[in-house]
Amino acid sequence: MNPYAPMRLLSALFLTVSLFAFTVGSSLAQDATGERDLLYVANQGEASVAIIDMSTHEVIETVDLTALGFSANASPHHVIAEPDGSAWYVSLITENTVLKFNADNELVDRATMEAPGLMSLHPTENTLFIARSMMAVNPPQRIGMAPRDDLGALEEVDVFFDRPHALAITAEGAFVYTASLATNQLIGLDPESLRGDLSTVDGAPHVIVQLAASPDGRQMAGTGQLTGTLLLFDVAADGRLTLTDEVAVGAQPWHPIYSPDGRHIYVPNKQSNTVSVVDVEQRAVTHTMEHDAFAEPHGAALSPDGRHLYISNNHQRGMMEDMMQDMAATAGQGGTHGDHSDHGNDHGDHGHHSNHGDHNGHEGHDHSTGDRPGTIAVIDTETLEVVQVIEVGVYPTGIGTRQWQ
């Protein structure tokens, strides 16, 4: 038995009573276990991970990877956490390493893999899946597969196409999907047999950045960087994908995420500086969110109840100081939602690499822009308004929570 279990139980009881007595609202930032819901933010430009308490929207700790012996150019790219909050993982692109930290933010394990990028946890088995970073120009045609209690036992699985980057797994864990940056190809692997069928999308190159699985496991969504589209696939019982719709969103859509009920998909558009809301039933964009906080929007995560959407913003070409001043000036004057019709023209071709051969720094990061801090925009999914902006480190990219998504 865990010797700390009685203490955690007492803490949970106290917290439950306190929340009932003193708070009002729909926030589900604490669950029955008493564990806090935390948002983990990979600050790729400064080799750190910011940890945000989702109940207060405050940065409660920043893990400095250089203090653990990693270089200032370690390039942490993506962070995910165990559903019970017991551990979290971060991929370090240029260190060719995936790290595991415990709930006390202590480094406890690591795996070696060339240019690791996006990650996904199997929902029922002890497996961590890892794809390749965009910075890897010619990596092996394989993804990583590691036991979460022994990352050093990582193995690599053939996927038969170049530059596997996007990564998602269905809710029941039947199939793990990855897609190529170099070709319009995807594959859904059976995690047990490690076999799967290739799917090919006809037409011009999309450069599929990231995938997301619907909560019911019957649909897969992918973002096409070069085409500015959200690709919607039906998932067959055998894992095969059939493209059913292409929805025009914004320029360079990045990390999509489904709402918990599966009715909407939220899509940050890196070059347009917008966030699209796609109605899954209508197969159409029903709302395009614009705000000063959206400056190269990149990663996406949701609170457990789906009430708050979190978007990471690279903020390397926008002036964050001006944005924060503008928001402070408009606070209490009917909201902070701004008009930014020209934002699509302010950012040139940031992150646009048709051959992806020049990613020798951060993924899509232009070092000449300086080291401005990035932000996390907090969006109320009922009103579709930005309700808070949280300053984090330089060039925040992938973000994750302990909720399985």
CA dihedral for 192, 198, 199, 203, sign (positive or negative) = positive
CA 126 to chain CA mean position, Å? 21
Q: What is the CATH number of domain 39-401?
A: 2.130.10.10
Rg of the chain in Å (alpha carbons): 20
Reference 275, options 302, 259, 254, 245; nearest CA is: 254
pLDDT in tens, 199-208: 999 999 999 9
Instruction: Give 259's strand partners.
Output: none
Instruction: Give the pLDDT of residue 404.
Output: 55
pLDDT in the model for residue 363 = 54
Q: Are strands 196-200 and 208-213 parallel, antiparallel or unpaired?
A: unpaired
pLDDT value of residue 311: 98
All residue ranges of the chain with pLDDT < 70 are: 1-35, 318-370, 403-405
Q: Looking at this protein, which amino acid is placed at residue 158?
A: D
Between CA 340 and CA 263 the distance in angstroms is 27
Q: Residues near 154 by Cβ (< 8 Å), separated by ≥ 6?
A: 98, 111, 112, 113, 130, 144, 145, 146
Residue 224 confidence (pLDDT): 98
Quick one: tokens of 317? 């070409």
Cβ neighbours of residue 1 closer than 8 Å, sequence gap 6 or more: none
